[in-house]
Structure 1
Amino acid sequence: MTISFGETFQQVQECFNEQSVIDSLLPKLESVTIIRDIKGKIRLFIEPLEDRSIEEAEIADMKSFLSRKFGNYYGNDIWLPAGEKDGYKALIDTIKAERVLAAWDDESVLPRWYILERHIAKQAWTDNTLGQPPWSEDLVAQKHKPAIVSFFSFKGGVGRTSALVATALTLARNGHRVAVVDLDLEAPGLATIFSPDDSDNLGVIDYLLEKKIQEQDWKLRTHLISINEPTLLGDDGESIYLLPAGTIDDNYLEKLARLDFQNLVDGELQSTMVDMLKELNKEARRLDFILMDARAGFHDIGGLAITALSHAAVIFGTQSRQSWAGLIHVIRHLASPGVDKRLPLILVHSMAPALGISGRETELTEFREQAYIVFQDNYYSEDETVPDANNTEEPFWVHLNLARAKHFGRQFIS
């Protein structure tokens, strides 16, 4: 039987109740601490009573049983205290300081039960180079692979997700095969937009956590949602494939705490997300576009999406100091050294206020003029010809914006 993330604590408790080998240890124990590490794997710290000792054979039997019971979810570690000279003393001191009593602990009965969740701190947006998407722009241009486009905003509530949905529907209605991916894991919403009555579905957060543990046993295709309603797509439109963020249940925050978005240790998260996109393309078959809804602000999963996984990005802003303060940094961050390495961008003024025709046009004009200055100062190199802002054929006039629109950019807009 396959064990999932949310069942691990309960399963450990049940192990101590059902297994005779472990049952024989209970009278010897003062406490059991169940540790769920940063990858979601289970490890144990057990403390014997002062007048009791635990034999090596008992530990070996326990390890063997837990390995059979938990498979890859067992971290293959059982720690015991060994005094001041113990090489693990610092670790054990941390465990004792950070553990909390388990919900099922009965203070009147030994052993006492504790749990400890291990989390990792975050840091991001520091790398000055762009990564490599799962497949090249050449394969996209030749229509052998789908274009991966991230939708990103510095501020929330600017219509980013709504614009992504509208883009996906428009593309699908015009015969393009589209997949949408909800990477806004802290505030997911795509599943409820497309399927308001059926949002109970595994998704991105489960792939990133469970796939690394269950490997071949976790299949993405069983969690893709197919949207094919004629009222949305028309009679001749193509289906849209949705990979949601995941189900927001009692385990969601603990899953989220283990996704090391900002300490990208050895590029592990990036490689897992690359595998996810490759598997998505394989399972959905013949996709033309993969649209990813990235997290607002300087969150690392948004940075990872647009800098390492995408062929282009659509970024949203407003004509305000707060918005431009972040957009300038984002645009500068995406303009890595060398013209050919820059990420094609579409900068969209969103939520333009209804100030009347003249007021609205004034704001849009000011936004376009400010965008031109920002791109000139932060995106284009000193020896590069910047598009003419007054030429209707240049990027800064068409759609108000598009930096370095070459073959891919023009294909995307059309």
Structure 2
Amino acid sequence: MNLPPAPVRFDDARPRALAIAYDVAAEGMEVLLVRDVLGRFALVVDDRERDVPADRVLAWSERLTSDLQRYAADRPLLRASGLFSADALLGSERAQPAPRRVPAGGYGSVRLLDNTVVGEDWAQVSTPTAERDGSRTHRTALYGFKGGVGRTTATAVLARHLADRGHVVLVVDLDLESPGAGPLLAAGARLPRHGIVDQLVEAAVGNADGLELVAPSGYAPRGGWGELWVAPARGRGTDECPYSYVDKLNRVYADIPGMDFADRLAAAVRTCEDAVAWEGESGRRPDVVLLDSRAGIHDIAAVTISRLCDLALLFGADNSQTWGGYGDLFAAWHSSGQARAIREKLRMVASMVPDSPQRPMSAYLESFREHSWECFSLLYDDDVPEPETGRLIPGAFSPSLEDDSAPHHPIPILFEPGLVGLDADSAPGWQDRAFVRAAYRDFLTTATLLITADPQSDEGP
């Protein structure tokens, strides 16, 4: 009795489709592998300058249908000569080189165009908008794969620390589903009338002029030169009408003609930066922008890390959830060919580090570093053998386990029970307490150096 073939599942389809694409390229063809929003593959062959026998086209098409089963598109093989918009498709900026290089010498190339409903920006690493605009503003994203790792509190402590050193600091709360940075940083001051959600909603209908998006916090930086501004996710609203936060939130992720969500979010951040210069007495633009990103594999985090920031601080604990989550994320960057573009602006933060007789801090951080290095190794270059001797030559970017400047090396924040459930309104001056200063000492020193190269960063919070 002949059993039916085992079904091809989603995870099986991509390597099978790539294997076919590589074989077609090996026959000298330029090919584009396209995956649709359901995960189905089609192969576009550029035959405009080369005659391809009909039997080869049929063989490729039949192999795609056979090997991919339900994950083959209805038309699995497309010839560029028969497409109306072949140049637009084959020249798409969203198409990325395939993970494995096709050997040179008469061979074609393979590119992958992946269409998704959400999360597409994880694979679209680009120059931060501030740099493209010629601004000297440095943007740092603070991100955690899992919530509850103290990311927002760390954002608040770091913001005050940088302002104390004379910097104009803007904190933008991008955790739209769970806003918290605004109230935590306001320190009793009046929040602006509007928030990031208002800018996204109003800009979509061309109605964003005149929004009140930023406000100075109630914190007075030491030294008198620094400034600390807040752009909350949720504005304070007015007494005249209810603030419909959920109704606005339900609409912020929509694309509008000529501008996708990533462009809209970048414009919102830039508008907040401009507002600081307009509204501040000094007229100074922010030196540093801290982007408190939403946790998880979400479009906001994708845009924030891949497109908006110069530095991304990745928060985590030494557990399977952290490494499983970051492993999935790093695998996406690796498979999309974006590892080299993203890896050097990443840095791990070991949050809520314990220090007890049962688990000393040194042992915890050693374990964290080893697991982090294993996870990051996917983004590092492989060592290559020397042709004559076979000796392994280190890759161009392949940090060792012990390299304390590498992305995988953890910046520690100590666990402190007094910070759990912190209510800034009922605990004025909380950032100056001894246990806070001790918990964040190493984090502030290293993060400040990464952001500003400030030699005074070792003075503590």
- Please confirm whether the aligned pair reaches a TM-score higher than 0.5, indicating the same fold: yes
Among candidates 122, 128, 135, match of residue 123 of structure 2: 128
Task: Specify the code of the residue in structure 2 equivalent to 1:270.
Answer: A
Shift of 1:353: 2.3
CA contact (8 A) 1:134 1:277 kept: no
Shift of 1:352: 1.4
CA distance in 1, matches of 2:155, 2:357: 26
The equivalent of 1:115 in structure 2 is none
The equivalent of 1:387 in structure 2 is 399
Task: Specify the code of the residue in structure 2 equivalent to 1:278.
Answer: R
Compared CA separation, residues 361 and 302, structure 1 to 2 (3 A) = same
Q: Does 2:235 align with 1:242?
A: no
The equivalent of 1:51 in structure 2 is none
Q: Does 2:330 align with 1:337?
A: no
Shift of 1:341: 1.9
The equivalent of 1:312 in structure 2 is 311
Give the share of equivalent positions with the same residue, in percent: 25
Shift of 1:323: 1.4
Shift of 1:243: 0.6
Task: Specify the code of the residue in structure 1 equivalent to 2:249.
Answer: L
The equivalent of 1:202 in structure 2 is 194
Q: Does 2:177 align with 1:191?
A: no
The equivalent of 2:347 in structure 1 is 346
The equivalent of 1:146 in structure 2 is 137
CA distance in 1, matches of 2:450, 2:369: 19
CA distance in 1, matches of 2:198, 2:204: 10
> How many residue pairs get matched?
278
CA distance in 2, matches of 1:128, 1:228: 39
Among candidates 196, 199, 205, match of residue 213 of structure 1: 205
The equivalent of 1:181 in structure 2 is 172
CA distance in 2, matches of 1:138, 1:199: 28
Among candidates 249, 260, 281, match of residue 256 of structure 1: 249
CA contact (8 A) 2:273 2:286 kept: yes
Higher helix content, 1 or 2: 1
The CA RMSD over aligned residues, in Å, is 3.2
CA contact (8 A) 2:213 2:275 kept: no
The equivalent of 1:227 in structure 2 is 217
CA contact (8 A) 1:152 1:293 kept: yes
TM (norm. structure 1) is 0.59
| 3-state SS of paired residue (1:209) | helix
Task: Specify the code of the residue in structure 1 equivalent to 2:368.
Answer: F
Task: Specify the code of the residue in structure 2 equivalent to 1:134.
Answer: T
The equivalent of 2:99 in structure 1 is none
| 3-state SS of paired residue (2:291) | strand
CA distance in 2, matches of 1:292, 1:190: 10
Among candidates 266, 269, 274, match of residue 261 of structure 2: 269
CA contact (8 A) 2:214 2:230 kept: yes
- Pick 1 or 2: higher relative contact order, CA cutoff 8 A, min separation 6: 1
The equivalent of 2:367 in structure 1 is 366
CA contact (8 A) 1:199 1:247 kept: yes
CA distance in 1, matches of 2:410, 2:263: 36
Compared CA separation, residues 287 and 148, structure 1 to 2 (3 A) = same
The equivalent of 2:291 in structure 1 is 292
| 3-state SS of paired residue (1:324) | helix
CA distance in 2, matches of 1:265, 1:352: 46
- What are structure 1's unaligned runs of at least 5 residues? 1-120, 402-407
Shift of 1:138: 10
Task: Specify the code of the residue in structure 2 equivalent to 1:241.
Answer: W
Compared CA separation, residues 137 and 339, structure 1 to 2 (3 A) = farther
Task: Specify the code of the residue in structure 2 equivalent to 1:211.
Answer: A
CA distance in 1, matches of 2:167, 2:187: 24
CA contact (8 A) 1:201 1:244 kept: no
Compared CA separation, residues 259 and 339, structure 1 to 2 (3 A) = closer
